[in-house]
Amino acid sequence: MPTAVVVDYKLCTGCRLCEVICSLANEGKISSNLSRIKVYAFPPGIDVPIVCAQCERAPCIDACPQSALERDSNIHAVIVNEEKCIGCGLCVKACPAEAVFIKPEKNVAFKCQLCGGKPECIEICPTNALSLVKVKFDTRIFAKKADEIAEELREALMLPKEENYHA
């Protein structure tokens, strides 16, 4: 059964330890630009981590003209075959969550590949906002954009539309 990093958005504090460990573990250096999980901040104080949902009918796989994106047979993550990838960016455009990126130096696509089954971001997350969940897909696409999630969260927390301030 496919697995994915699932986010409990209310628990995210915006510390971005997931970004730090992701880039450090996968790329050997610390950089938001090289992280496969990204935390977006929306005022006032909303934090939305975005990471690949490993969709069952993955739009990125369908969009790739080189068949460079494939489903890993063990952990069922969508992985990039760097040999085949030509860096055209069609997968980036196809992803509804904007969770696929192009690596600047190498000009190849990169995305969350679940760290071979033990995602580093889940281990480091200090509030357990992230967990590895076996997903029973029913052909829906789970991925969502950060601003949509932020809006839902704003409503869930009952944050006022306008702040009370009249100095």
Partner 1 sequence: MLRGGYAGKILKIDLTNEKIDTVNTESLFDTKLFIGGKGLAAYILWKELKQGIDPFSEDNLLIFATGPLTGTLCPGTRMCIATKSPLTGLFCDSYVGGHLGAEMKMAGYDAIVIRGKSEKPVYVWIRDEQVEICDAKHLWGFDTFKTEETIQKEKGDNSVRVACIGPAGEKLVRFAHINVDRYRQAGRGGTGAIMGSKNLKALAVKGTGAITICDTDGFVAKAKEAHRAVLENEVAKARKRWGTARTIIFTADQDLLPTKNFREATFEGAENLSAEVLEKRFWVKHRACHSCPVNCAKLGVVRHGRYAGTVVEGIEYETLALIGANCGIKNYDAVAYANLLCDMLGLDTISTGNVIAFAMECFEKEILTVKETEDLKLNFGNEEAAIKLIEKIAKREGLGDLLAEGVRRASEKLNAECRKFAMHVKGLELPGYDVRASPGMGLAYVTADRGGCHTRSWPISYEISGKAPDGTVIGRYSTEKRAFMVKKQQDENTACDTLVACWFLKGAVGNERYVDMLNSATGMEFTTEEFLMVGERIWNLVRLLNIREGMKREDEKLPDRVFEDPIPEGIAKGQKLERGQLERMLEEYYTIRGWDERGIPKKEKIRQLGIGFLISEFKKNI
Using CB under 8 A as the criterion, which residues of the chain lie in contact with partner 1 when the complex forms?
A: 10-11, 13-17, 20-21, 23-25, 27-34, 40-47, 123-124, 126-127, 157-160, 162-165, 167
Of 15 and 135, CB closest to partner 1 = 15
Q: Please report how close the Cβ of residue 5 comes to partner 1 at its closest, in angstroms.
A: 18
Strand partners, 108: 103
User: Omega of the bond prior to 65 within 30 degrees of 0, cis?
Assistant: no
- CB 65, min distance to partner 1, A: 28
Are the C-beta atoms of 24 and 36 separated by less than 8 Å?
Answer: no
Q: In angstroms, give the least distance from the CB of 20 to partner 1.
A: 5
Q: Three-state SS for 77?
A: coil
Inter-residue contact 14 to 47 (CB < 8 Å): yes
Considering the complex, what minimum distance in angstroms separates the CB of residue 11 from partner 1? 8
| Non-local CB neighbours of 158 within 8 Å, separated by 6+ positions | none
Asked whether 116 and 36 are in contact (CB, 8 A), the reply is: no
Q: Which of 51, 49, 83 is nearest to 69 (CA)?
A: 83
How far is it between the farthest Cα atoms of the chain?
A: 60
Pick 56 or 120: Cβ nearer partner 1: 120
Choice between 31 and 67, CB closer to partner 1: 31
Of the pair 33, 67, the CB lying nearest partner 1 is at 33
Contact (CB, 8 A) for 111 and 101:
yes
Cβ 102 to partner 1 shortest distance, Å:
13
By beta-carbon proximity to partner 1, the closer residue of 36 and 76 is 36
